[in-house]
Amino acid sequence: MNLTSRISNFEFENPLMNASGVWCKEAEQLDELKRSQAGTFVTKSATPQQREGNPSPRYVEVPLGSINSMGLPNKGFDFYLDYSLRYQNENPEKINFLSIAGMCADDNLEMLKKIDSSDFKGITELNLSCPNVPGKPQVGYDFEATEKILSQVYEFFQKPMGVKLPPYFDFAHFDQMAAILNKFPLQYVNCINSVGNGLYIDTDSESVVIKPKDGFGGIGGAYVKPTALANVRAFYTRLDSQIAVIGCGGVENGRDVFEHLLCGAQMVQIGTQLAKEGPQIFDRVLSELQTIMKEKGYNSIDDFRGKLKSI
């Protein structure tokens, strides 16, 4: 069975990978992803300098998913660039995604200049949608700021790049954001980041469950699958065909992956459920996906990718 997926000129053995933030902050975690069945991996969103992030508890599993307000804890940009350079040197036929999330536009430009002048051959992900740094709005909800940063980036940046978007909930916003993204030579857009600033509460203790921002945090897991699929579909149908879509949100099993692919995703990421099960989840989900494809008589993902039917 052919499970290959592509972003730009890169081909991956299968469409599965981690969602940035999950299992990808420490070298040991990235090593485990490398050894797993995932088609590739993405590193924790980096800032120019290392950060401790928000106070704990800051990630909690809840019945239908997770809530988090990590606050960008990471080992600093140089660590993830070095890790990625080592990976490509040790595995010349493979590449990974390198995620960056500056605290301001200048941070992002500084990191992108370093990537541009490095030997990095993989794909950069510019995260425009971190909801968890107090006082910092999500860039992806400010359409002018999104267009401005992309204009500044493409004045110099020559390497493959995609953007991680927040979820949108309105057709006018799908239309406006897609029109902006179509102006740039992006390789992909990643839909979606967590649904920002939800509030999960514990009825027994009558309190919030995470400490930062008085309990408000990004929601992931089953709660967000319909929103994720809607965003994948909305951007797949609006973006120029050379811009791929990566699907992220609510993936727990092979059926969820199949649905993201049907909506048009090239790669499909797993976050909350990866945090729960660990990297062996990729074996299970891949075999579930293959079972569904076999039942339906599909030999390759390209047989059904994007072909969601109307009624």
Please say whether the beta carbons of 159 and 120 come within 8 A.
Answer: yes
Separation CA 282–CA 254 (nearest Å): 10
Please say whether the beta carbons of 134 and 99 come within 8 A.
Answer: no
Which one among 30, 38, 62, 70 touches ligand DHB, defined by CB under 6 A?
Answer: 70
Residue entry with tokens 């469409």:
15
Site string for ligand DHB, 202-231 (x = CB under 6 A): ----------------x-------------
Question: Which of 124-132, 233-241, 264-272, 281-289 is the region at the interface with ligand DHB (rule: CB under 6 A)?
Answer: 124-132
Please say whether the beta carbons of 199 and 215 come within 8 A.
Answer: yes
> Between residue 246 and residue 285, which ones bind ligand DHB under the rule CB under 6 A?
none
Smallest separation (angstroms) from ligand DHB to the CB of 279: 20
Smallest separation (angstroms) from ligand DHB to the CB of 288: 26
Please say whether the beta carbons of 257 and 251 come within 8 A.
Answer: yes
**Region of 17 on the Ramachandran plot (φ > 0 left; ψ -120 to 50 alpha; else beta):** beta
Comparison of 130 and 263: residue with beta carbon closer to ligand DHB: 130
Q: DSSP 3-state helix, strand, coil percentages of the chain (rounded to 5)?
A: 35, 20, 40
- From 115, 126, 194, 132, select the one nearest 163 (Cα to Cα): 126
Site string for ligand DHB, 187-206 (x = CB under 6 A): ------xx------------
Note if 248 is an active site residue.
Answer: no
For the record, the structure tokens of 9 come out as 């000129």
166 binds ligand DHB (CB under 6 A): no
Helix (H) or strand (E) holding 172: helix 171-181
Comparison of 43 and 45: residue with beta carbon closer to ligand DHB: 45
Comparison of 130 and 224: residue with beta carbon closer to ligand DHB: 130
Count of residues that interact with ligand DHB, criterion CB under 6 A = 16
Any idea which residues carry the catalytic annotation?
Answer: 130
Binding interface with ligand DHB (CB under 6 A): 21, 45, 53, 69-72, 101, 127, 129-132, 193-194, 218
